[in-house]
Amino acid sequence: MKRRSRYAAVSLTAALILSACSSGPSSSSGPSSSSGPSSSSSLSGQTINLSLSHHAWTTSLQTFIGDFTTETGIKVDVNVYDDAQQATLYNVKLNAGSSDIDVLMFRPLQNTQQFTQNGWFADLTKYVNASTDWNWNDFWQSARDSVTVNNKIIGVPLVSETGVLYYRKDLLAETGMPYPKTMDDLKAVVAKIHELHPDIFAFAGRGEVSAAVTQFSSFLYSMGGNWTDGKGNSTINSDAAKAAYKLYGGLIHDYGPPGETDMNWPQVMGLLQQGLVAFYPEASSNYDSAVDPTQSKVADQIGVGPIPAGPAGSKPYNITAMALGISAFSKHKDAAWAFIKWATNQANSLTIQEAGVPGARTSVWNDPKGTSTLAPDLLATIQGNSKIGVGYDRPQVVNVDQARQIVGAPIVAAIQGGDSNAVADQANSDFQALLDGQAK
Amino acid sequence: MSSPVIAWRAAISLWVNRNRKWILSGPAIAFIVLLLVIPLGYTLYLSFTDAGSSLRASFHFTGLGNYTNVLTDTRRFWPAVYRTVLFTVGAVSVEMLLGAAIALLLRREFRGQGIVRVIILMPLVATPVAVAMLWRLIFEPTIGFANEFLRFFGLPGSEWLSSPSTALPTLMFIDVWQWTPMVALLLLAGLTTVPEEPEEAARVDGANVFQRFWFVTLPLMRSVVFAALILRSVEAFKTFDILYATKGAGGGSMHEAETINIYAYGINFSDNRYGLASAVLVVFFIMVLVLVTLQIVARRRGQ
List the CATH number of the domain containing B131. 1.10.3720.10
In a domain, B268, yes or no: yes
DSSP assignment of A267-306, as one string?
A: HHHHHHHTT-EEEEEEEGGGHHHHH-TTT-TTGGGEEEEP
Report the sign of the C-alpha dihedral through residues B214, B216, B219, B225, in that order. Answer: negative
pLDDT at A432 over 60: yes
A13–B289: do the CB atoms touch at under 8 Å? yes
A24–B288: do the CB atoms touch at under 8 Å? no
pLDDT at A37 over 70: no
Q: Does A150 touch chain B (CB under 8 A)?
A: no
How far is A77 from chain B, CA to nearest CA, in Å? Answer: 26
The rounded distance, in Å, linking the Cα atoms of B281 and A300 is 52
pLDDT, one tens digit for every residue, chain B (303 residues)? 557 788 899 999 999 899 888 889 999 999 998 999 999 999 999 999 998 877 777 888 999 999 999 999 999 999 999 999 999 999 999 999 999 999 988 887 778 878 888 888 888 888 888 999 999 999 999 889 999 999 999 998 899 999 888 999 999 999 999 999 999 989 988 888 888 888 889 989 988 888 888 888 888 888 888 889 988 999 999 999 999 999 988 899 999 999 999 999 999 888 889 999 999 999 999 999 998 898 888 878 766
Alpha-helical regions (H) of A256-397? 265-273, 287-291, 333-343, 346-354, 362-366, 368-372, 376-388
**Burial of A266 from C-beta contacts in 10 A (0-12 / 13-18 / 19+):** exposed
| B32-to-A403, B37, B40, B44, B288 alpha-carbon distances in Å | 39, 6, 11, 17, 19
Radius of gyration of chain A (CA): 24
In a domain, B33, yes or no: no
How far is A438 from chain B, CA to nearest CA, in Å? Answer: 11
A95–B54: do the CB atoms touch at under 8 Å? yes
Confidence bin at A20 (pLDDT 50/70/90): very low
**Burial of A318 from C-beta contacts in 10 A (0-12 / 13-18 / 19+):** buried
Of all residues in chain B, the one with the smallest CA distance to A402 is B271
Confidence bin at A41 (pLDDT 50/70/90): low
Which residues lie below 8 Å from residue A15, measured CB to CB, with a gap of 6+?
B36
B254–A412: do the CB atoms touch at under 8 Å? yes
Comparing CA positions, the residue from A143, A283, A314, A161 lying closest to residue A211 is: A283
Of all residues in chain A, the one with the smallest CA distance to B166 is A259
Q: Which residues of A126-163 are buried (b: 16+ CB within 10 A; e: fewer)?
A: bbbeebeebebebbbebbbebbbbeeebbbbbbbbbbb
How far is A15 from chain B, CA to nearest CA, in Å? Answer: 7
Rounded to an integer, the average pLDDT of A53-58 is 91
> What is the total count of domains within chain B?
1
Q: Does A89 touch chain B (CB under 8 A)?
A: no
Q: Which of B58, B233, B243, B270 to mutate to test the interface with A (most CBs of A within 10 A)?
A: B270
In a domain, B294, yes or no: yes
The rounded distance, in Å, linking the Cα atoms of B209 and B257 is 40
Q: Does A18 touch chain B (CB under 8 A)?
A: yes
Alpha-helical regions (H) of B153-220? 167-192, 197-204, 209-211, 218-220
Rounded to the nearest 10 degrees, the angle between the axes of helix B222-237 and helix B77-107 is 140
B270–A258: do the CB atoms touch at under 8 Å? no
Q: Does A347 touch chain B (CB under 8 A)?
A: no
In a domain, B13, yes or no: no
How far is A207 from chain B, CA to nearest CA, in Å? Answer: 8
Q: How many cross-chain Cβ pairs, A to B, lie less than 8 Å apart?
A: 147
Residues 58-87 in A contacting B (C-alpha not used; CB under 8 Å): 84, 87
pLDDT at A384 over 60: yes
Report the sign of the C-alpha dihedral through residues B114, B119, B124, B129, in that order. Answer: positive
How far is A70 from chain B, CA to nearest CA, in Å? Answer: 38
Rounded to an integer, the average pLDDT of A149-174 is 96
How far is B272 from chain A, CA to nearest CA, in Å? Answer: 8
Q: Which residues pair with A280 in a beta bridge?
A: A166
**Burial of A40 from C-beta contacts in 10 A (0-12 / 13-18 / 19+):** middle
In a domain, B249, yes or no: yes
Of A6, A19, A412, the CB nearest to B296: A6
Confidence (pLDDT) at A36 = 43
Report the sign of the C-alpha dihedral through residues B193, B198, B204, B208, in that order. Answer: negative
Instruction: Note the pLDDT tens digit of each residue in A248-278.
Output: 999 999 999 999 999 999 999 999 999 999 9
Q: What percent of chain A has pLDDT over 90?
A: 80
How far is B184 from chain A, CA to nearest CA, in Å? Answer: 21
pLDDT at A189 over 50: yes
Phi, psi (5° rounding) for residue A345? -70, 170
Range of the domain at B94: 74-302
Q: Report chain B residues whose CB lies below 8 A from the CB of A26.
A: 42, 55
Provide the residue count of chain A: 440
Of B159, B269, B292, the CB nearest to A258: B159
Comparing CA positions, the residue from A114, A72, A90 lying closest to residue A336 is: A72
Rounded to an integer, the average pLDDT of A385-389 is 90
Instruction: Note the pLDDT tens digit of each residue in A293-341.
Output: 999 999 999 999 999 999 999 999 999 999 999 999 999 999 999 999 9
Q: Does A267 touch chain B (CB under 8 A)?
A: yes
Question: Mean pLDDT for chain A?
Answer: 90
With beta carbons less than 8 A apart as the criterion, state whether A278 and A190 touch. yes
How far is B95 from chain A, CA to nearest CA, in Å? Answer: 19
pLDDT at A31 over 70: no
Q: Report chain B residues whose CB lies below 8 A from the CB of A23.
A: 39, 42-43, 46, 268, 274, 277-278, 281
Angle, alpha carbons B4-B7-B9 (nearest 5°)? 110
pTM of the predicted structure, to 2 decimals: 0.85
The rounded distance, in Å, linking the Cα atoms of B173 and B177 is 6
Q: Report chain B residues whose CB lies below 8 A from the CB of A437.
A: none
Radius of gyration of chain B (CA): 26
The rounded distance, in Å, linking the Cα atoms of B126 and B129 is 9
In a domain, B53, yes or no: no
A259–B141: do the CB atoms touch at under 8 Å? yes
Q: Report chain B residues whose CB lies below 8 A from the CB of A408.
A: 253
Between A430 and B51, where is the model more confident?
Answer: A430
With beta carbons less than 8 A apart as the criterion, state whether A386 and A162 touch. yes
In a domain, B8, yes or no: no
Most confident of A57-61, A84-88, A139-143, A169-173: A169-173
Confidence bin at A15 (pLDDT 50/70/90): very low
Q: Does A200 touch chain B (CB under 8 A)?
A: no
For B145, other C-beta atoms within 10 Å of its C-beta total: 12
Confidence (pLDDT) at B166 = 93
The rounded distance, in Å, linking the Cα atoms of A359 and B211 is 75
Q: Which residues pair with A161 in a beta bridge?
A: A319
Q: Report chain B residues whose CB lies below 8 A from the CB of A260.
A: 162
Phi, psi (5° rounding) for residue A284? -60, -30
Residues 374-413 in A contacting B (C-alpha not used; CB under 8 Å): 398-399, 401-402, 405, 408, 412
Rounded to an integer, the average pLDDT of A67-79 is 95
Confidence bin at A283 (pLDDT 50/70/90): very high
Comparing CA positions, the residue from B111, B92, B80 lying closest to residue B255 is: B80
Which residues lie below 8 Å from residue A16, measured CB to CB, with a gap of 6+?
B234, B235, B238
Confidence bin at A356 (pLDDT 50/70/90): confident
With beta carbons less than 8 A apart as the criterion, state whether A153 and A123 touch. yes
Instruction: Note the pLDDT tens digit of each residue in B184-217.
Output: 989 988 888 888 888 889 989 988 888 888 888 8
In a domain, B6, yes or no: no
